[in-house]
Structure 1
Amino acid sequence: MKWRLLPAARFGAAAAHWDALRAGLPAAPMFAPAFVDALLEAFGSGPELLALCEDEAGPCAAAVLAPQGPGRWATFQPAQAPLGLWLQRPGIPAASLLAGLAQALPGFALQLGLTQCDPLLLPRPAPGAGDNMRTLDYIATARIDVTGGFEDYWNGRGKNLRANLKKQRKRLAADGTATRLDVVDQPGMMAATVADYGRLEGAGWKARGGTAVDAGNAQGRFYARMLEAFARDGGARAYRYWFGERLVAMDLCILERDTIVILKTAYDEGAADGLSPALLMREEACRALFDEERFARIEFYGRVMEWHTRWTDQVRTLYHLNHYRWPALARLHAMLRERGAAHLQNGA
Structure 2
Amino acid sequence: MTPSWTLYPAARFSEFQDAWQHLNREGKNSALLDPAFLAPALELFGTGKERLAVLGGSTPSAMALLRPTGRRGWETFQPSQCPLGSWVSHPSLTWQAVLPPLLRSLPGFPVVLGITQQDPDLFPRPPASRTLKTLDYIQTACVTLQGPFEAYWQARGKNLRANMKKQRNALTKLGLEPRLEILTRAQDMDQAVRDFGQLESSGWKNDQGTAIHRDNAQGRFYTRVLESFCARGKGRVYRYWFGDVVTAMDLCIADESSLIILKTAYNEQASHGTSPAFLMRQESFQHLFEENALDRIEFYGKVLEWHTRWTDEIRTLYHINEYRWGFLPGLLGKA
TM-score tier by shorter-chain length is: over 0.9
- The equivalent residue for 1:342 is none
User: Are the aligned partners of 1:27 and 1:259 in contact in 2 as well (CA < 8 Å)?
Assistant: no
Give the CA deviation at 1:104: 1.3
Alignment-derived partner of residue 296 in structure 1: 295
In the alignment, structure 1 residue 2 sits paired with structure 2 residue 1: no
1:20–1:59 contact (8 Å) kept in structure 2:
no
What is the alpha-carbon distance in structure 2 between the residues aligned to residue 198 and residue 310 of structure 1?
A: 27
Cα distance in 1, alignment partners of residues 297 and 189 from structure 2: 21
**Could you list the per-position Cα deviations for residues 159-203 of structure 1 after superposition, in whole angstroms to 9, with x for gaps in the alignment?**
100010011111111221111101111111111110110000011
Distance in 2 (alpha carbons) for counterparts of 1:229 and 1:256: 13
Pair 1:15 & 2:17 matched:
yes
Residue 275 of structure 2 aligns to which amino acid in structure 1?
S
**Number of the residue aligned with 2:152:** 153
Aligned 8 A contact 1:138 1:317 in 2 = yes
Aligned partner of 1:278 in structure 2 is 277
Task: Describe the SS at the equivalent of 2:56.
Answer: strand
Q: Which one-letter code corresponds to 2:5 in the other structure? A: W
CA distance in 2, matches of 1:324, 1:237: 41
Looking at structure 2, the residues matched to 114 and 275 of structure 1 have their Cα atoms a distance apart, in angstroms, of: 41
Corresponding residue for residue 169 of structure 2: 170
Partner of 1:42: 44
1:231–1:237 Cα contact (<8 Å) kept = yes
Cα distance, 1:91 vs structure 2:
2.9
2:85 corresponds to: 84
How far apart, in 2, do the equivalents of 1:308 and 1:321 lie? Answer: 26
Structure 2 CA distance, aligned partners of 1:183 and 1:10? 36
Give the drift of 1:54.
Answer: 2.3
Q: Aligned letter for 1:86?
A: W
**Alignment map for 1:262-277 (pairs within 5 Å):** 262-277=261-276
- Return the TM-score normalized by structure 2: 0.97
Residues 101-116 of structure 1: pairs in structure 2 closer than 5 A: 101-116=102-117
Structure 1 counterpart of 2:73, one-letter code:
R
Deviation at 1:55, TM superposition (A): 7.5
**Deviation of the 1:271 alpha carbon:** 1.9
Moved more, 300-309 or 103-112: 103-112
Q: Which amino acid aligns with 1:100?
A: P
User: What is the letter of the counterpart of residue 259 of structure 2?
Assistant: I
The equivalent of 2:98 in structure 1 is: 97
Residue deviations 1:55-92 (CA, integer Å, cap 9, x gap): 79x43211000010222000011000000001121132
List per-residue Cα deviations over 1:216-264 (Å, max 9, x = no partner): 2111111111111111111111100000000000000001111110000
Task: Please name the residue that 2:216 is paired with.
Answer: 217
In structure 2, C-alpha distance between the alignment counterparts of 1:51 and 1:230, rounded to whole Å? 25
SS of the aligned residue for 1:46 comes to coil
- SS at the partner of 2:156? coil
CA contact (8 A) 1:60 1:89 kept: yes
What is the identity, as a one-letter code, of the residue corresponding to 2:94?
Answer: P
Query: Shift of residue 334 of structure 1?
Result: 2.4
Measure the CA separation in 1 of the matches of 2:293 and 2:4. Answer: 39
Task: Give the letter for the 1:11 counterpart.
Answer: F
The 5 A counterparts of 1:250-261 are: 250-261=249-260
Moved over 3 A (4+): none
Taking the aligned partners of 2:46 and 2:87, their CA distance within structure 1 comes to 16
Inter-partner Cα distance in structure 1 for 2:250 and 2:136: 27
Identity of aligned residues (%): 49
RMSD of Structure 2 on Structure 1 (CA): 1.4
Which residue of the partner structure matches residue 184 of structure 1?
183
Residue by residue over 1:124-164, the C-alpha shift from the partner in whole angstroms, topping out at 9 and shown as x without a partner, is: 112x3x21011111111000011111011111101100010
Classify the secondary structure of the residue corresponding to 2:142: strand
More off after superposition, 212-221 vs 243-252: 212-221
Which structure 2 segments of 5+ residues have no match? Answer: none
SS at match of 1:283: helix
The amino acid across from 1:61 in the alignment is A
Note the C-alpha offset of 1:48. 0.5
Match of 1:341 in 2: none
Match of 1:54 in 2: 56
Gaps of 5+ in 1: 339-348
- 1:236 is matched with 235
TM superposition shift of 1:103: 1.5
Q: Equivalents in 1 of 2:204, 2:114: separation in Å? A: 32
**1:345 aligns to what?**
none
Structure 2: how far apart are the matches of 1:264 and 1:227?
A: 12
Distance in 2 between residues matched to 1:284 and 1:27, nearest whole Å = 27
1:25-59 alpha-carbon deviations (Å, 9 max, x no partner): 22410111111111011101111001111279x43
Answering whether residue 199 of structure 2 is matched by residue 197 of structure 1, we say no
- Number of residue pairs matched? 333
